[in-house]
């Protein structure tokens, strides 16, 4: 069984993503505008996720390791009740600013998705999603999946 994530690994990962966010954020303007204006961001940029996110108005969705937050913002724009969890304080800050620009409200949390805080209730979310490519950044995929499973409803997405 894999060990729990080490603090050194988490701090290194957080430092990387804080720097990445600062570097890449200036290039997100066109995509943020597309989301703000109600465009087809999910269908155009995330075609593998889009079919699962068609009828999400009113659904409670958690976006784990939300990165630049564009999927999170697009889901909120479609009427979902969205919570985003990411380790990066810089990603959290930038996405918080983007919510006002896009005209949406979301709940953002800075936390390690391998060890979600207990204040995220069990069996609460209709759907847990993550963007493609996140698993190479996870030290303990089993812990990550166990946490995602814990916070989603037993019946899964409806």
Domain boundaries in the chain? 7-151
Q: Where are the extended beta strands (E) located within 15-97?
A: 60-64, 81-86
- The per-residue pLDDT for 158 is 45
Q: How are strands ordered across the β-sheet holding 127-129? A: 107-110, 81-86, 60-64, 127-129
- The per-residue pLDDT for 3 is 54
pLDDT over 90 at 20, yes or no? no
Assign domain 7-151 to a CATH class: alpha beta
The Cα angle at residue 100 between residues 25 and 147, in degrees rounded to 5: 70
Q: How far apart are CA 158 and CA 86, in angstroms?
A: 25
Q: What would the mean pLDDT of 71-83 be, rounded to a whole number?
A: 97
30-73 pLDDT, tens per residue?
999 999 999 999 999 999 999 999 999 999 999 998 989 999 99
89-133 pLDDT, tens per residue?
889 999 999 999 999 999 999 999 889 999 999 999 999 998 776
pTM, rounded to two decimals? 0.85
């Amino acid at each position: 069984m894999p060990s729990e994530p080490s603090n050194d690994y988490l701090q290194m990962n957080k430092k990387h993503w804080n720097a990445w966010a600062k570097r890449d954020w200036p290039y997100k303007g066109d995509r943020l505008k597309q989301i703000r204006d109600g465009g087809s961001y999910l269908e155009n940029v995330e075609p593998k996720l889009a079919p699962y996110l068609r009828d999400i108005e009113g659904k409670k969705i958690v976006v784990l390791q939300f990165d630049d937050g564009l999927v999170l913002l697009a889901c909120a724009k479609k009427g979902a009740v969205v919570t985003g969890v990411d380790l990066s304080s810089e990603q959290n800050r930038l996405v918080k600013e983007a919510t006002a620009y896009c005209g949406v409200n979301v709940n953002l949390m800075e936390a390690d998705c391998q060890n979600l805080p207990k204040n995220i209730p069990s069996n609460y979310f209709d759907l847990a999603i993550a963007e493609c490519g996140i698993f190479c950044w996870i030290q303990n995929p089993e812990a990550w999946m166990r946490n995602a499973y814990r916070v989603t409803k037993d019946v899964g997405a409806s």
